[in-house]
Chain A
Amino acid sequence: MAVENLRVRVNQDILRAVEEEFAADWKGTKRGEGCVIDFYTEMALEQRIFQIRAGTVSAPIVGDVAITDQVCEMAVEAPDGLSMMPVFFNWCFNLSAATLFEVALKSRPWTTAITFTTAFTPLNLYIGGRGALTRGYADGAGGVDVGVNESLTLDRLHYHWAQPIAAGAYTTTDIWEPIAPPVLNARAILYAQIGADTTGPSYFAALNYIELPTINIS
């Protein structure tokens, strides 16, 4: 009878803290299952996930009126050598009395610098974690100008939500959490647009993304 050559080290009770570059035995349960961790959780534990947010309880931000395709509410810009992977977008309206509501999350290769904006220092989702190398911006009423008009052939549409009527028999909260995130390479811009006609919706929003040096993925 052959003997299996894949072995794990049972380690349930006292977790290890092995140093960088050292070889560590593969963790296993007392039943022999090999323990694994997924990419997203590992990125969070490595302090590589950041957040841009807008609106605090109970001070929501007011969205844009008649969105123009050059402005947005939130944006992140990755300088050369950095890549972004948007992984989570949560928005909710607590006042939406107008009509023709739109929420969108898009990205584009960098062509022109973001201007006339309020900087937002990205929050590391690992509290106490390192600062971001990407640059964040957040300003209501379409206060972030991404420089050039949205282009169907250049800008990627990752998520879009729309509703033509005022708040009523529908949910005014949504979460975008893709099964596979887009990879925004080589000086890219990620941005979120929120608006309506006549009166902008009052909203809260948060946008989470992974930041990695491009050299580590391509």
Chain B
Amino acid sequence: MATTDLQVLVNQDAPRAAGEGAYIGLKGTKRGEMCILDFYTAMYLEQRAFSVRIGSVSAPVTSDTAITTLEADMCADVVSGLTLIPVYFNFAANLMTGTANEVGFKSVGAASTAGTVFVPLPLYIGGAAALSTARAQATGACTVTDDAVTTTREIAAWANGIAAGAYTTTHQYKPRLPHVVNGVGGVYVQVGATTTGCEYFCAFEYIEIRTTNID
């Protein structure tokens, strides 16, 4: 009896738990489709993803006013030998009465130097602790490297020149292609407006991986 050249192992009912380094049949469905796992989901399942957040319901934090380029509300840093890949950013303002409102998510090849420490939350609950470090302190109280267009990367930005009105004050960033922050480096979030800072909730997620595994 002839067989095809490519065969998978049907495995729908009892998922396997093979040991590290073992060679096992490629999983397939009972219909013969090949089962694959994308890079991002694998990283999350391997406990390599973390979250930094600020503001809890219903206790939003207040942003900076008149942001200077050295100030941020949140950040995460990696040392040499580690790489950080930001993969998600979510911002929501629930009070925005100032003008010239701005939100920026950026990356730079230097670590932050001040701000309240925030222990990164593993997105695999019960997972390994991060080797990266983070800070979260509203009103621009985290100190980061000066935002310069020639060195700092802009990951995502949101702005509106007027106070909250009939427009959306929530923004999400889910990249098709990620920034890759090869340590020493970090990402940071800036939120601000003129005269009165907005009240907001914010979180970002990132993958942490050893640089030697990608370069």
Contacts and interface: CB of A to CB of B under 8 A. Distances in A.
Interface of A: 2-17, 25-26, 28-38, 40-41, 43-45, 47, 49, 51, 53-60, 87-88, 90-97, 120-121, 123, 125-129, 138, 167-173, 175, 177, 202-206, 208, 210
10 contacts: A4-B25, A5-B5, A10-B21, A26-B26, A40-B177, A58-B192, A94-B101, A120-B149, A138-B149, A204-B159
B150 interface: yes
Contacts of A54: 149
Interface of B: 3, 5-9, 11, 15-28, 34-40, 42, 45-46, 66-69, 85, 100-102, 104, 107-109, 147-162, 165-168, 171, 173, 175-182, 185, 190, 192, 209-210, 212-215
Contact of A4 (B7, B35, B214): B7
Contacts of B23: 7-10, 25
B176 A175 contact: no
A31 B24 CA distance: 9
B182 A169 contact: no
Nearest to B47: A12
B148 to A, nearest CB: 7
A56 B160 CA distance: 15
A101 to B, nearest CB: 11
Contact of B107 (A6, A127, A138, A168): A127
B26 to A, nearest CB: 4
A129 B156 CA distance: 20
B67 to A, nearest CB: 5
Given A30-B19, A32-B18, A56 B100 contact: no
A10 B26 CA distance: 10
Q: Which 6 A-B pairs have the closest CB atoms?
A: A169-B166, A32-B27, A92-B159, A94-B159, A6-B26, A40-B177
Given A32-B24, A94-B101, A126 B9 contact: no
Given A36-B38, A36-B39, A10 B167 contact: no
A173 B160 contact: yes
B185 A127 contact: yes
A177 B176 contact: yes
Contacts of A123: 150-153
A47 B72 CA distance: 27
A128 B84 CA distance: 12
Contacts of A2: 3, 7
A34 B42 CA distance: 10
Nearest to B155: A206
Nearest to B66: A58
A204 B104 contact: yes
B20 A32 contact: no
A58 B178 contact: no
B68 to A, nearest CB: 7
Contact of A11 (B16, B17, B20): B20
A58 B37 contact: no
Most buried by B among A88, A127, A175, A205: A127
A167 B160 contact: yes
A144 to B, nearest CB: 14
B179 A128 contact: no
A45 B25 CA distance: 28
A82 to B, nearest CB: 18
A31 B178 contact: no
Given A32-B24, A33-B27, A94-B102, A171 B153 contact: no
Given A15-B213, A125-B179, A170 B25 contact: no
